[in-house]
Structure formats: structure tokens, C-alpha cells
Amino acid sequence: MSLGGHKNHLAYIIGIALGDGNLSNPNGRAVRLRITCDKKYENIIKNIISSLKIILPKNKISIINRGDNCVDISCYSNKLEEYLGWKANDGSKYNQKVSVPDWIKFEEDFTLKCLRGLFETDGSIYFDRKYVMVNFVTIIPNLHKDVVEMIKEIGFKPNIQIHRQLNRKDKYTIRITKNAKDFIELVGINKS
């Protein structure tokens, strides 16, 4: 993978795609990445588009309006499966047991960018009894383990809840309750 100095952008896009992205190959010729985002997150949309343009400078990035609240950010490239680490035609991310690539976990800058993407998609910032809290939710066991490992690696202690559901996938909720403001600042989470 030869991206030179653009791996920070790829680490961010991998986090975004692991959260709210999917791969398909609708025409049988080129893989499509589609990232769904709420319109109210204008800065996140701009950041996604900007990072995709840096990673895939010759590829068209499209924004498709999906109604009142959502847009799809979409691009085609046969490099996407290699970059993201899963396949367009091999089923859901859950069935493919997706995970964060090792190269991201071994470099703090990449870890921070990937966590930012993950928390900006499948995470939330909220107040509980006047204290800031941050959480991340997934049903993918490998992704849960990776996120916990990365949070610990950057010096924070996550709280983990597993909601076991009969005849349904387990839901993993990872919370940062202690020093949550510091976590938000370090990772650069921007829910706007």
C-alpha cells in the first residue's frame, strides 16, 4: 500500500467505513464505498470528502441525498478492498469479522485518526449527571476488541458492557467515563 504521507487520512476513512460504511460492486467492474451520514454533521461530511480526495485523488466523490436527514458519500475504486481490509461481495462486515488493520494499531497517530472515525460514526458524546461521557457501540466482536485495545493503548480506561440478546447479535458498548473531555480532545472527535 503506497500512500506515502496520506496514511493518516486512510486511518480516518477506515474508522469511518468500519462505522457507517459499506462496500458493494454493483456494476461488476469497480468496488463502491458508500458512507451514510446525517446531514447535521456538516464538518464530518467535509472531512470525509476531503480525506477521500486525498486517498483517491483521481476518483470522483459523489454526495447522494437520501431524504430529509441523510446523505451517502460515495466513490468507486478497486483499491478499496485492499485499503479497508474486507470484500464487497463477501457479506456484511459482521459476517466478515472485520477488524482494524494492524498498521493502524502500531502507530499512535494512526490509532487516533481511526478512533476519531469510529467515534464520529458509531459513537456519541453525552452528559450524565453533568459529566461528559463518550461511548462507542458495535455488534462486531473483533471490532469491539480492537477499539478497547486502542483506547487502552492511548492511556484511557474503557468500561465495557455486553448486551446479550436471545436470537440476536450481542451489542458491545464501550464507554469512556473518566477523563472523557481529555479523550475527546486527544482523539479530535468533532460531532458537528
pTM here?
0.94
Phi and psi of 11, rounded to 5°?
-60, -40
Domain boundaries, the chain: 4-99, 108-187
* Cα-based angle 91, 15, 37 (whole degrees, multiple of 5): 80
The CATH number for 4-99, chosen from 3.20.20.140, 3.10.28.10, 2.60.120.10, 3.30.70.3270, is 3.10.28.10
Return per-residue pLDDT of the chain as tens, 192 residues. Answer: 556 669 999 999 999 999 999 999 988 899 999 999 999 999 999 999 999 999 999 999 999 998 879 999 999 999 999 999 999 999 999 999 999 999 999 999 999 999 999 999 999 999 988 889 999 999 999 999 999 999 999 999 999 999 988 778 999 999 999 999 999 999 999 887
Cα gap 143→158, rounded to integer Å: 14
Q: Which three cell numbers stand for residue 39?
A: 446531514
Q: Find the helix or strand (DSSP H, E) in which 16 lies.
A: helix 7-20
The CATH number for 108-187, chosen from 2.60.40.10, 1.10.357.10, 1.20.1260.10, 3.10.28.10, is 3.10.28.10
